[in-house]
Amino acid sequence: MFENALPSVLGAIGNTPLVRLDRLAKAWNLEGTLYAKLEYLNPGFSKKDRIALQIIEEAEERGELVPGRTVVELTSGNTGTGLAIVCGVKGYPFCAVMSKGNSMERARMMRALGAEVVLVDQAPGSPPGQVSGEDLERVEERAKALVAERKAFRADQFVLRGNVRAHELHTGEEIWTQTEGKLDAFVDFAGTGGSFTGCALALKKHNPRIRCYLLEPETAAFLGKGEIVNANHKIQGGGYSRTLPLLDPSLVEDYLAASNDDAIEGAHALAAYEGIFGGFSSGANLFAAVSLLRGREKGNAVAFLVCDSGLKYLSTDLYP
């Protein structure tokens, strides 16, 4: 008998659709093609399900993760949600460590999926909804302490190559196949830099001439300019003003920047013209892709990720 069912929800991770944004391009008189990869259609509503699966399965293969061992990781919510799903299905206890600056939908979702969620106070002066590198350092300290206490496996998304491999073996390959190789550029807002590096490696393996642009918050253009005007910004999930061990700078064509308002406008345009409901970083990615089509990539094809769902931001000012 032919059964057309997946053995678990883990089989639903990846293979997300790629959409051509022809309505938006027409409305804004853009020359060229925009491609959006709908990562919010993963089971945890973000691209981070991919790295959760890859990191956990690589740790199992190395023998580092055995039944009963706890998994710990710091998260802006998305990696934690992915890990809560993967650990839940595979039977590992999972503890997510998150800044109180991230939206609370995320903590609730992780708890519903069986995770223990440890919330860490923001640094003095850091506004809620705007997580800085300093806030993240506090989360890091707490995660380290929990790993030691519980002899846990740290699913360290800033360090483990599984993060890059998830996007190199899957996300980037999928983009190449879905565009039939007719792609000139890729742009990505960096948190760990895992998506950027992984997708860039895959795309450049097929065609070294594809240009890959790395996006940062305008006030925290640390990687491109070494400049931090204000480390706090609204683009949750990245822009941490820190060096990124997984980022390979030789893959970066150039560094771009987006403001809070650019990200919000971008997210609104994706929703209004294309029926695509993304978060701040998705809006920032669209803004940057449009800027490229209006400038040095005029007439070309540019791809980006819709990193997560706008539903994760209903408690913020993204969609008032």
Ligand X SMILES: Cc1ncc(COP(=O)(O)O)c(C=O)c1O
Q: Where do contacts with ligand X occur on this chain (CB under 6 A)?
A: 46, 48, 76, 78-79, 189-196, 236-238, 279, 281, 307-308
Q: Is there a contact between 132 and 240 (Cβ–Cβ < 8 Å)?
A: yes
Nearer to ligand X, 219 or 300 (CB): 219
Instruction: Provide, rounded to whole angstroms, the least separation between the CB of residue 151 and ligand X.
Output: 26
Nearer to ligand X, 199 or 293 (CB): 199
Instruction: Provide, rounded to whole angstroms, the least separation between the CB of residue 180 and ligand X.
Output: 25
| Residues sharing a CB contact under 8 Å with residue 59, sequence separation 6 or more, in sequence order | 65, 153, 155, 162
Nearer to ligand X, 88 or 237 (CB): 237
CA dihedral (276, 46, 286, 228) in degrees, to 10, reads: 150
Candidates 48, 126, 132, 309; catalytic one: 48
Instruction: Provide, rounded to whole angstroms, the least separation between the CB of residue 4 and ligand X.
Output: 32
Nearer to ligand X, 76 or 122 (CB): 76
Candidates 76, 132, 195, 281; catalytic one: 281
Instruction: Provide, rounded to whole angstroms, the least separation between the CB of residue 240 and ligand X.
Output: 9
Instruction: Provide, rounded to whole angstroms, the least separation between the CB of residue 186 and ligand X.
Output: 13
Longest dimension (CA), the chain: 62
Residue carrying structure tokens 């209004």: 272
Residue nearest to ligand X (CB): 237
**Residue 48 catalytic?**
yes
Instruction: Provide, rounded to whole angstroms, the least separation between the CB of residue 142 and ligand X.
Output: 17
Nearer to ligand X, 70 or 75 (CB): 75
**Residue 204 catalytic?**
no
Residue 224, classified by CB atoms within 10 Å of its CB into exposed (0-12), middle (13-18) or buried (19+), is middle
Nearer to ligand X, 103 or 291 (CB): 103
Catalytic residue ranges: 48, 281
